[in-house]
Chains A and B, each alone.
Chain A
Amino acid sequence: MTTTEIAPPIRPVGPLPKTREKMGRRFAYGFLILSIVPILIGYSWLVIATFSFRTEGLLPRNAEGGIGGFTLRNWDFVTDAAIWNAMLNSLLIAVAMVIGVGVASAAGGYALSRFKFAGRKAFLTGTLVLHAFKAEMLLIAIFFVLRSLGDIPIIGGFIGFNTVGGVALVMIALELPLGIWLMKGFFDNLPWDMERAALIDGASRFRVWWQIMLPQVRPGLAALSLFTFIAGWNAYLVPFTFTVGSKVANMPVFLNQLISDTAPTNWNQVAAVGMFQMVPLIIFFIFTQELLLNIYAGGSKGT
């Protein structure tokens, strides 16, 4: 007779799988919460400061030094026309960039993806290499370009030095390598057959691009527009360099003008203006976050 030895059930070392999973999740959440604490503190200060007389750490203080001192004084600027002018300028730059970068990237990306022409490869590597140069290196050269653009009759007044148009133009140019490469990537993934079918169905090249190909890359175009809008809205270096005075200042430049070298700076007011600049972006995010998540997660998904 053979005896079958029944092995005693092996108790897993450590906690049971379910508890282990729970612990893992707890650890992950703990890590995530810990890492956003500094950011949360920063934003908390921003919100508290905008409504306070002054702050000490995260504590709002009134004039006598006691806790409290709620005030709307820091928001007085909303009645000032200058901030609305700055906001309009920011909006103009951002919208001009979205349109300019969107159109040029969609057209250029398609051409680079589908057509063979002399200099195509050189252009592709060229844009990539140029993208590696920081905008700061080009500032002086661009200054001269804008100066001479300003000498062009009629349109020079819109795209020269110290104009919103000029700033937008420079920002578009700096953003284009990324945009063109991004859109080229999206077009590269589209099947040739769809395009051939449209050509045979009677469409012209332009119609193929506009009616057949563009709708397929809409998620890519949406992502590009979003990035471009944010880049334009927050643009600082280029507007700061190529504008003088408050008439053509955009929001970040306006914000910087509040920080004076000679008089003491009201930091609570700076915080309020910063908040004010963020509001449109926050609203924007709330309405587009689903689309954004789709783009980040799937790449080609969305819409």
Chain B
Amino acid sequence: MRVELDNLSKSWDGVVGADRITLDIADGDLVAFLGPSGCGKTTTLLMVAGIYKPTGGTISFDGRVVNEVAPKDRGIGMVFQSYALYPHMTVFGNISYPLRIQKVNKGEIRERVQRVADMMGIGDLLDRNIAQLSGGQQQRVSLGRALVKEPQLLLFDEPLSNLDARLRLSMRGEIKRLQDGLGITSIYVTHDQVEAMTMADKIAVMSKGVLQAYDVPEDLYDRPKTLFVAGFVGNPPMNFFDVEIMRTDGDFRAKSGAIDLVLPADRAEKAAAAKGKVIMGIRPEDVDLVDDSAPAGEGLTLTGEITVVEPLGREDLLGVGINGVDMHVLVDKARGVRVGDSVDFVFNTSRVQFFDPETELSFLWA
């Protein structure tokens, strides 16, 4: 089912929950709503579900405006962070509930519940009480209950947040496989960008009720259109510097009190058109320790002092001060740097981003 949100808004007594959200979701896609808590992503989801009434704009399913359609008539299934199971019913009672309301005949209910439960790997738990299940099993029941009525649209509200890390990882893959296999259009609300990046066909980044970006995951990461997206997507976050772009003898240079770097023309040209300061961004993995065996080009290195070393296991995250400006650098480990060392860093300037400090829009992609 195709879902279109057009200027969808929700406010309570002047407090804005969602502000003119406009986006299209293609049939069969999984779209993630990503943002910090309180950004309006769950509000938007509940409007799609029909629980909240929009105060402006429209929601359309396959071209039909459904603003006034009751939740039960929208053909949706929803999975909640809290699972929201009915504790006074068994697993079978929970999964069969939507079908019992539809007055499906008993034999068919049995068969459909069993099929969904088997698919979720809980086929042998149907007679259990909810309280006897683990968190992971409860979430499977919740997913089964959402799937059993064969919905046109699946809504997920942070479904994995209450699970432990290992289970989250496996459920992530499972939900994605399931959604792909069944081809059900899905909206997946999360504050976990790894979940969003790995599962979603497209990601809607939200902040303070406003849709900041709506793009495929790679574009959000490599071609962020706004300063917020650049700073929010990616962990550890992108480093930002206030610089001025100078053009000398055909060379572009980014300069500030702390920084002097040579820039490739294709990245710097548009930013140079702006007079005055711009914000330059570079991701922690695009900076590296200088390797003596492969010397870097002129103007691509800076010297910084190590302030923090955080071993992450596979790599080390360094806190670096460059002439008083702090930044994060992600390097392969076992290079023996210590706090207090003064070290040369090489910048991969072909991957820098530039943003207008006034509008916070990208000079490159906006």
Contacts and interface: CB of A to CB of B under 8 A. Distances in A.
B84 A193 contact: yes
Given A202-B98, A204-B72, A194 B149 contact: no
Given A203-B101, A204-B72, A198 B86 contact: yes
A196 B43 CA distance: 13
Contacts of B78: 196-197, 200
Interface centre among A196, A197, A204 (most CB of B within 10 A): A197
B173 interface: no
Contacts of B145: 197, 201
Interface string B88-100: 1000000001100
Contacts of A215: 86, 88
Contacts, number: 60
A96 to B, nearest CB: 28
Contact of A201 (B50, B51, B98): B98
Interface in B38-52: 46, 49-51
Give the size range of A's interface with the partner: 10 to 19
A243 interface: no
B82 A203 contact: no
Contact of B77 (A191, A200, A216): A200
Contact of B149 (A197, A202, A203, A207): A202
B84 to A, nearest CB: 4
Contact of A193 (B70, B82, B87, B149): B82
Per DSSP, chain A at the interface is: helix
A275 interface: no
Contacts of B80: 193, 196-197
A201 B101 contact: yes
Contact of B72 (A194, A199, A212, A216): A199
B170 interface: no
A200 B97 CA distance: 11
Contact of B71 (A193, A194, A199, A212): A199
A189 to B, nearest CB: 13
A200 B76 contact: yes
Contacts of A212: 86
Contacts of A203: 72, 101
B84 A216 contact: no
Nearest to A303: B88
Contacts of A207: 101
B102 interface: yes
Contact of B49 (A194, A196, A204, A216): A196
Contacts of B77: 200
Given A212-B86, A216-B88, A202 B102 contact: yes
A183 B99 CA distance: 30
Given A196-B51, A197-B78, A202 B101 contact: yes
A194 B86 CA distance: 7
Interface in A177-230: 191, 193-194, 196-204, 207, 212, 215-216
Contact of A200 (B71, B81, B85, B87): B71
Contacts of A202: 72, 98, 101-102, 149
Contacts of B49: 196, 200
Contacts of A196: 46, 49, 51, 71, 78, 80, 84
Q: Which 8 A-B pairs have the closest CB atoms?
A: A193-B84, A197-B84, A202-B72, A215-B88, A201-B98, A202-B101, A193-B80, A199-B71
19 contacts: A194-B84, A194-B86, A196-B46, A196-B51, A196-B80, A197-B142, A198-B97, A199-B70, A200-B50, A200-B72, A200-B76, A200-B77, A200-B78, A201-B97, A201-B101, A201-B145, A202-B101, A202-B102, A202-B149
